[in-house]
Amino acid sequence: MSKIWIDGKFVESSEAKVSVFDHGLLYGDGCFEGIRIYNGRILKLRSHIVRMFESAAALRLQPGHSIDEMEEIVREAVAVNEQKDGYIRLVFTRGKGTLGLNPFLCPTATVFVIVESIKLYPDEMYEDGMSIIVAKRPRVPKECLDPQVKSLNYLNNILAKIEAIDAGVLEALMLNQNGEVAECTGDNIFVIKEGKIATPPTSAGILHGITRRLVIDEIAPALECEIEERKISLEEVFDADEVFLTGTACEIIGVSHIDNKVIGCGKVGAITHGFEDQFRKMMSEGAPED
């Protein structure tokens, strides 16, 4: 049984509780980060915590801890749970308040850290590729709810995920209001055509994914590849030689089919495999924590 750090102390997971009056529960008023641990090192811990505080600032939510303090709390939670390889979920909620919407009637934020194991997709999908669908519902416009804020309000993503599950797959590609490719319910997307790699820009209404950034800034240069951030149409995705997804939980995974369309050869392509292998090599040699 894992130990959860919540509001200044560790408790058994069965004893970790938030109030039914917490605005995170009542209204999705809060933010979160998912972070991976590889061989005792916490991948991009600082980047994740900085992004977390940026989300909190956008919500005008005061967590009651500094970035440095939060980093030490996360490290302590990993140590207490003796987790060498696993997953961290860091959450800030607005805290206990009234049944009204006013967030400023919640005097103290709720903060907790979960350290657990995770397995998002089966191993064979990393070899054979995964099938996904195109969601019927578009991404919420960034003018309404900026995806740069990794908020607790994930209903847009969850409803698209339900579409995927109903279709017998595990992921759905979401388009923005202009019909351009945005991202999947929990992953960023990359397309490869004739050796050229592209991914939607953050202006398309996507989360500034930290694994996405790792792929662009560190893995691609190591493989002597360049990645262009630009608008991508759905037709380009269907016509791609290879498609892969990135995310903290999924890492890097190739796509074999979208709807009823075979992507490339219907298997994980050579370039995608190269990115997967380089990612694993980087994690085995020492995951960067900055």
Q: Is residue 119 over pLDDT 90? A: no
Instruction: Give Cα 280 to chain centroid, integer Å.
Output: 18
Mean pLDDT of 4-12: 98
The owner of tokens 């560190």 is 218
How is residue 215 annotated by DSSP? I
Name the residue ranges covered by the structural domains of the chain.
3-116, 123-286
Binning pLDDT at 50, 70 and 90, where does residue 172 land? very high
Distance CA 32, CA 91 (A): 4
Residue 188 has a pLDDT of: 98
Are the C-beta atoms of 67 and 31 separated by less than 8 Å?
no
The CA distance from 39 to 283, in Å, is 8
With a pLDDT cut of 90, the percent of the chain lying above it is 98
Res 135: pLDDT = 98
Say if residues 142 and 205 touch (Cβ distance below 8 Å). yes
- C-alpha 72/C-alpha 4 separation (Å) is 15
- pLDDT of 164 > 90? The answer is yes
Mean pLDDT estimate for the chain: 97
- What is the tens place of the pLDDT at every residue in 228-240? 999 999 999 999 9
CA 248 to each of CA 109, 119, 166, 241, 251: distance values in angstroms, whole numbers, following the listed order:
25, 11, 24, 24, 5
Answering whether pTM is above 0.85, one says: yes
Alpha-carbon Rg for the chain in angstroms:
19
Between 182 and 119, the higher pLDDT residue: 182
Q: Is the dihedral of CA 233, 239, 241, 244 positive or negative?
A: positive
Q: Dihedral through CA 66, CA 89, CA 105, CA 62, nearest 10?
A: 10
What are the percentages of helix, strand and coil residues in the chain, rounded to 5?
Answer: 35, 25, 40
pLDDT score for 120: 85
By DSSP bridging, strand 9-12 and strand 3-6 are antiparallel
* pLDDT 10s digits, 26-53: 999 999 999 999 999 999 999 999 999 9
Q: What is the amino acid identity at position 178?
A: N
Q: How confident is the model at residue 108 (pLDDT cuts 50, 70, 90)?
A: very high
Maximum CA extent, the chain = 56
HSE (CB half, 13 Å, CA atoms) of 131?
11
- 1 has a pLDDT exceeding 90: no
CATH 3.20.10.10 matches 123-286: yes
Which residues, listed in sequence order, are joined to residue 112 by a DSSP beta bridge? Answer: 6, 91
Q: How confident is the model at residue 266 (pLDDT cuts 50, 70, 90)?
A: very high
CB atoms within 10 A of CB 54: 15
The domain made up of 3-116 has a fold known as D-amino Acid Aminotransferase; Chain A, domain 1 (3.30.470)
